[in-house]
Amino acid sequence: MSSKALKLELLACSASRDEDNSAIHATPTLISSPLRGIIALCVMVLVLSGCSQKAAFEELADGVCSSEQAQLIEAHISAQIDAIAKQEWKLAYSYASPGFRSGVEINEFIFIIGGRYGMLVENQGYEFNACTIANEKISQQVAVSSNGQVTNLTYLLSVQKQVLGVDSAALSAPKLEA
């Protein structure tokens, strides 16, 4: 495949005002470069995904998480659990909140996971249950399957500067259904 086949074209905008400054007119200008197009596409994806997280966590109202919040929370926790299972410690640690990282060094994080949360390293799957918000803290219930058993964890997350982070995960008692 030639580089010409991969070429993306983007429109830039230049603005001009009427003679009396009463209106602004936008004039599209064609930008033609394969590399610029690819870079612009990547930047757009990053900006839009950041906007999505920002909007979802702009106001943390007490109650049940919205579906948009739940999706972002599940993706965040999944990414951390998956990194732990692969023993990609720096990546797993990066999903922790700034508050957690300021009090716990990465070596301590690895020690804690190995000592108390081996089920995350050896997990055969996990399922998300209730997600709630109270006092600007997010609580997400996660059932982790490992070695033929299910361990229920309660993840606590916070949002700082519109960025989601894991504060803690603790063993929780399974909820009995009526």
Q: List the chain domain ranges.
A: 9-56, 63-171
DSSP secondary structure, 98-167, as one string: HHHHHHS-HHHHHHHHHHH-HHHHT-SEEEEEEEEEETTEEEEEEEEEETTEEEEEEEEEEEETTEEEEE
pLDDT mean across residues, the chain: 79
Q: What is the mean pLDDT of residues 137-146?
A: 97
Query: Does the domain spanning 63-171 belong to CATH 3.10.450.50?
Result: yes
Side by side, which strands form the sheet with 163-171? 63-64, 125-134, 137-146, 149-160, 163-171
The amino acid occupying position 166 is: V
Between the alpha carbon of residue 162 and those of residues 57, 95, 122, the distances in Å are 6, 14, 32
Q: 93-126 pLDDT, tens per residue?
A: 999 999 999 999 999 999 999 999 999 999 999 9
Q: What is the mean pLDDT of residues 133-160?
A: 96
Q: Give the pLDDT of residue 46.
A: 42
CA distance 126 to 153: 10
Q: 73-92 pLDDT, tens per residue?
A: 999 999 999 999 999 999 99
Q: Give the pLDDT of residue 162.
A: 85
